[in-house]
């Protein structure tokens, strides 16, 4: 069962090193971000792309790109909206060139103008999925975290109701769910409510870290109060047989918690 786990690659480390570490530690799925050196988009020339693809094939490792959630996919202001499209599609094009299996999709955030922003985000996701359907890349759409009530910005979608709007509007085998358990833990319906509503059939990955249910923080599982035993029992009951992305801690933490979670499978 250990082969069902992957991780968020350290941003300061070359992707090639992460691939080798993944192979050595039986964590064959990698999410990485292509924003900053040494893994910024411009660094992936043809020679580096060949090297990454060869390493993945040799070691049986699968990779996907996780664009920054700080880029507002719900942006509608002229010039800025076009820049968001360019950023998103540049990440998608890199994913295609690298032979990635997935690209993480985000809804963006609003400043109180939630309906207008959500409509813009939905149209942007539709355009992205249109591209994905012509490739082997699948969009893994993530449920966002809840921000404190008086925060200036609020992510969308952060609860079941908002998430349902996206999955009702976009029904495609290239639009799947990146189920973020810790984000679900921050809303009243909890991660349980997400699974009760959506089940597991459309999950592309389950994203794991811990928190206390108060605000977004990437704690190591066991440091917060998420019931991971209950989570894995529920996923087993529903028949989930996909993979899990570990988004916390250092290398040793990932191995230790992976072994614990493997025992829960």
pLDDT at residue 2, as a whole number: 66
The reported pLDDT for the residue numbered 130 is: 98
pLDDT at 1 over 70: no
**Percent of the chain at pLDDT exceeding 70:** 99
The tens digit of pLDDT for each residue in 92-118 reads: 999 999 999 999 999 999 999 999 999
| DSSP 3-state of 35 | coil
Dihedral over Cα of 85, 90, 95, 96: its sign? positive
Q: Categorize the per-residue pLDDT at 53 as very low, low, confident or very high, splitting at 50, 70 and 90.
A: very high
Is a pLDDT exceeding 70 seen at residue 80? yes
Is a pLDDT exceeding 80 seen at residue 224?
yes
First to last CA, the chain: 7
Q: Is the pLDDT of residue 216 over 90?
A: yes
Could you tell me the fold of the domain covering 2-264? TIM Barrel (3.20.20)
221 contacts 260 by C-beta, under 8 angstroms: yes
């Amino acid at each position: 069962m250990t082969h069902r786990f992957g991780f968020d690659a350290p941003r300061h480390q070359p992707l090639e090193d992460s691939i080798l570490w993944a192979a050595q530690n039986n964590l064959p799925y990698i999410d990485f971000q292509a924003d900053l050196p040494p893994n910024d988009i411009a660094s992936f020339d043809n020679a580096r792309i060949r090297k990454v693809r060869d390493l993945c094939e040799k070691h049986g490792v699968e990779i996907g790109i996780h664009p920054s959630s700080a880029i507002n996919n719900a942006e509608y202001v002229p010039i800025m909206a076009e820049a968001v499209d360019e950023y998103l599609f540049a990440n998608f094009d890199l994913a295609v060139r690298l032979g990635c299996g997935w690209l993480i999709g985000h809804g963006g955030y609003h400043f109180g103008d939630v309906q207008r922003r959500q409509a813009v985000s939905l149209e942007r996701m539709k355009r992205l999925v249109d591209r994905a359907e012509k490739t082997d890349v699948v969009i893994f759409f993530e449920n966002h975290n809840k921000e404190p009530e008086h925060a200036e910005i609020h992510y969308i979608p952060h609860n079941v109701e908002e998430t349902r709007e996206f999955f009702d509007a976009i029904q495609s085998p290239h639009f799947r769910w990146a189920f973020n358990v810790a984000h679900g833990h921050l809303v009243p319906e909890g991660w349980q409510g997400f699974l009760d509503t959506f089940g597991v059939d459309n999950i592309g990955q389950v994203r794991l870290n811990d928190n206390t249910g108060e605000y977004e923080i990437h704690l190591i599982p066991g440091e917060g109060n998420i019931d991971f035993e209950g989570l894995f029992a529920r996923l087993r009951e529903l028949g989930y047989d996909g993979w899990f992305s570990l988004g916390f801690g250092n290398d040793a933490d990932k191995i230790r918690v992976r072994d614990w979670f493997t025992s829960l499978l």
